[in-house]
Amino acid sequence: MISIPLLIVGAGPAGLCAAYRAAEVGVDVLILDRAQKPGGQLVKQTHKFFGSEKQFASTRGIEIADILFKRLEDLPGRVELLTDATVIGFYEDGVVTAEVQGKFMKYRPEACIVATGASEKTLAFTGNDLPGVYGAGAVQTLMNEYGVRPGNRVLMIGAGNIGLIVSYQLLQAGVQVAAILDAADEIGGYLVHASKIRRAGVPILTRHTVGLAYGDEKVEHAIIHALDDEWNKIPGSEQQLDVDVICVAVGLSPLADLLWQAAVDMKYIGALGGYVPLRNSDMMTSVAGLYIAGDVAGIEEASSAMVEGEIAGISAAGRLGFSSEESHLLKKDCLQQLRQLRAGPGSEKIRTGMALAGAYV
């Protein structure tokens, strides 16, 4: 058993920002991440971020991953970041178990920040397990991390920000996008993303969904159809498309397995993507010393994940006895940033959801 002051699970935008703020005031931090390199999903975000300068607006996600990682050097607290390190257990007595580079390890952290992100939701349609039906994150990973085209012609399911952004990235990689479908009656993602896709000639069909996928052991065709106001299939509206990839971008769920294991109070809040941990304005859960940040705390943009990470880092450091006048001011500023990021008319559901989850809104 290894005793450590602060364990952060996940080296994505939230985890890296949490580590920075905690180490800045002198806390030694251990970050564990299951991937081979840090950055979480930032490493495949080739688009420029929205937000303000504080959240690296107009910088591409891939570059932000680098910035967040490099600024962890030479801080008062030592930051140790281990990749290929998957946390697999969180016990009610505070013990955390992990597979770290092929070894089974046990840790007893005084405080812990869970920043595990999210997993992709799936969609039930006939043929949904055919090879070629891929999650949007998988398509991004394959293209932007490994430089491999997922296919030649893609049908995108979901017109939220992920569906729109991944469609754009597919076009940039030289892959055709047949159409973007969404069962909702309006485009869920940012309009500027949608307009960018439309300019490239890709249709966005709202009130449409995929009925089935078929082909010889892989996706070759998709049948799509329109939906009425009751979400029922409109007879005769079927269209068949020749595509070799169906990309599913129907949303994310918080990846909260560890929090369930730790017996944190959870609540189902649809606007935040599913079951989320209840928290206070310090980003602490119902278990003392256990903090959360980023998508695991509710599905949002990476910009708010970074700010939540900072708050969790400052709060956890404070609990360990490391705080300063500046860190109090910084936390206030972060809370203000979050409020601004969530202030727009499009964030109304997020605001309601966050209030239900106990967040400062």
Question: Please, which of residues 106-145 interact with other proteins by CB under 8 A?
Answer: 106, 119-122, 124-135, 137-139, 141-145
Q: Which long-range contacts (CB under 8 A, 24 or more apart) does 324-330 make?
A: 324/25, 327/21, 327/24, 327/25, 330/21
Residue number, 117 or 318, with CB nearest to other proteins:
117
Residue number, 71 or 221, with CB nearest to other proteins:
221
Q: What's the CA gap between 107 and 253, in Å, rounded? A: 27
**In this structure, what token pair is assigned to residue 355?**
């209030």
Residue 258 lies near other proteins (rule: CB under 8 A): yes
Residue 30 burial class via C-beta count within 10 angstroms: exposed 0-12, middle 13-18, buried 19 and up: buried
DSSP one-letter code for 121: -
User: Taking CB under 8 A as the criterion, which residues in 195-234 touch other proteins?
Assistant: 195-202, 204, 206, 212, 214, 217-218, 220-221, 223
Start-to-end CA span in the chain (Å)? 39
Number of residues that bind other proteins (CB under 8 A): 119
Residue 146 lies near other proteins (rule: CB under 8 A): yes
Phi, psi of 282 (to 5 degrees): -85, 0
**In this structure, what token pair is assigned to residue 108?**
């007893």
Residue 333 lies near other proteins (rule: CB under 8 A): no
User: Taking CB under 8 A as the criterion, which residues in 266-325 touch other proteins?
Assistant: 266-270, 274-275, 303
- Between helices 13-24 and 325-341, what is the axis angle to 10°? 160
- For other proteins, the binding residue among 82, 190, 289, 333 (CB under 8 A) is 190
Residue number, 74 or 230, with CB nearest to other proteins:
230
Site string for other proteins, 50-89 (x = CB under 8 A): xxxx---xx-x-x-----------------------xxxx
- For other proteins, the binding residue among 93, 192, 230, 288 (CB under 8 A) is 192
CB of 213 to other proteins, least distance (A): 10
